Amino acid sequence: MRRFALVLAAIMWTAPPATAVEGRLDWPLLPHPSVVRTFDAPSPNWNRGHRGVDLAGTPGQPVQAAAAGTVVFAGELAGRPLVSIAHPGGLRTSYEPVRPSVRAGQRVEGGARIGRLEAGHAGCPSAACLHWGAMWGPSSRADYVDPLGLLAGTPLRLKPDQ
């Protein structure tokens, strides 16, 4: 019965318009960038994969917070400039290589400038690429998800519990 209810809900539910959808993400680069490398979740989680998407940009381009939250990291990590934001509900987003204009502990609104895109992302076919990641849960056990599936313009789909 539960499976039937979930399937019925998925059929009947349609996503609200993309404007101002509460709890969804917006593009971190404007205008909407081209996706030059898609999300490729590893299985199992410790194997190689691509735990985010690469978005084409230009060096020095402003990078914006995809949603409101609190900056949990802004600085160098393994020699690369990175910003990470914790959002209500347990989602975290990461942005690299981004020279931060924010600091850890700072609250940001969705669309707020968090830094500037730098060149140098490995494998980038453009002048610069933003590696944009999204994950649920604590860093030590994060479940990486495709940030494109969380964009305000992407329809939500419910799947049955198996």
In a domain, 40, yes or no: yes
Selected residue with higher pLDDT from 123 and 102: 102
In a domain, 107, yes or no: yes
Confidence label for 20 from pLDDT (cuts 50, 70 and 90): very low
In a domain, 20, yes or no: yes
DSSP assignment of 118-151 equals -S--TT-SSSEEEEEEEEES-GGG-EEE-GGGGB
How high is the pLDDT of residue 17? 30
- Whether the upstream peptide bond of residue 16 has omega within 30° of 0, thus cis, is no
Total number of domains in the chain: 1
Spatial CA neighbour of 23 closest among 154, 161, 142: 154
Selected residue with higher pLDDT from 88 and 126: 88
How high is the pLDDT of residue 15? 31
In a domain, 155, yes or no: no
Q: What is the mean pLDDT of residues 68-82?
A: 95
Q: Which residue range forms the structural domain that includes residue 29?
A: 2-150
Alpha-carbon distance 143 to 83, whole Å? 18
Q: What is the CATH number of the domain that holds 63?
A: 2.70.70.10
